[in-house]
Amino acid sequence: MKQILCFGDSNTYGLIPGTAGRYPWGVRWTSLLAESVRDQGYQVVEEGLCGRTTMYEDSTRIGRRGTQILPVLLESHRPVEIVVLMLGTNDCKTAYQAGAQDIGGGIEQLIDQIRLSDPHISILLISPITLGEGVWETGYDTDFDSHSKEVSEQLADVYRSIAQRRNLEFLAASEYVSASRTDREHLDAEGHYRLAAAVTDTVQDMIRHATCSEDPELLQYDGAAS
């Protein structure tokens, strides 16, 4: 089986809004992606972790810095064909005082690590959903403030620019889904379904392109058909 590594935070993990629970298989978007690609010889490695950042160290929880763990995962799951990378929401926390460009710098470090591991790995870069209005209010997540929301809204443009410059596939999650009303931060079940559909379409295109690249006759046929 060929490996697709989905590397992200709680919205990749599948955290149920307003709880400490996790959506089951068949609900979280990574599992729906896995079901769609299984018959083509691919399996999805679900590597979502609550609180994960691109490059910042969480002072209260260990192992949250993405750049610290990604090289290990790329090695332990080798060979990896595709990496689906969606991080940045936790970087918006007030503790890190990061702007959108700073967070983009963290994403580029992760991309560099993937390229160093294997330059042939295909990358789908996803900018995360934007934080909901009032997510910083009492009863929600006070690790954020109004500036955090503004930064989260800028990530799509920053990530899109990175993807274009580095020739990566790109998807803006905020164009398809939004944070649940329950906690103003995480995807609800419907959000997972919608995101899965968007991600699956892009990944299926990546798989078709990879298949054509491996078979010159298919590549020639596709070119003639277009």
Per the structure, the complete domain to which residue 57 belongs is given by 2-225
Element (H, E) at 7: strand 2-8
pLDDT at 171 > cutoff 80: yes
Model pLDDT, residue 225? 37
Model pLDDT, residue 189? 98
Q: In whole angstroms, give the CA distance from residue 83 to residue 202.
A: 12
Q: What is the 3-state composition of the chain as percent helix, strand, coil, each rounded to the nearest 5? A: 50, 15, 35
- Rounded to an integer, the average pLDDT of 149-176 is 98
Across the chain, mean pLDDT equals 95
For the whole model, what pTM was predicted?
Answer: 0.94
Q: What percent of the chain has pLDDT over 70?
A: 94
Q: What is the C-alpha R_g of the chain?
A: 17
Number of domains into which the chain is organized: 1
CA-based nearest residue to 171, from 180, 160, 158, 162: 160
Q: In whole angstroms, give the CA distance from residue 101 to residue 159.
A: 9
Structure tokens at 161: 């620019």
CATH number for the domain harbouring residue 32: 3.40.50.1110
- Are 69 and 117 spatial neighbours (Cβ–Cβ below 8 Å)? no
Structure tokens at 77: 């799951």
pLDDT at 220 > cutoff 80: no
Q: In whole angstroms, give the CA distance from residue 177 to residue 162.
A: 21
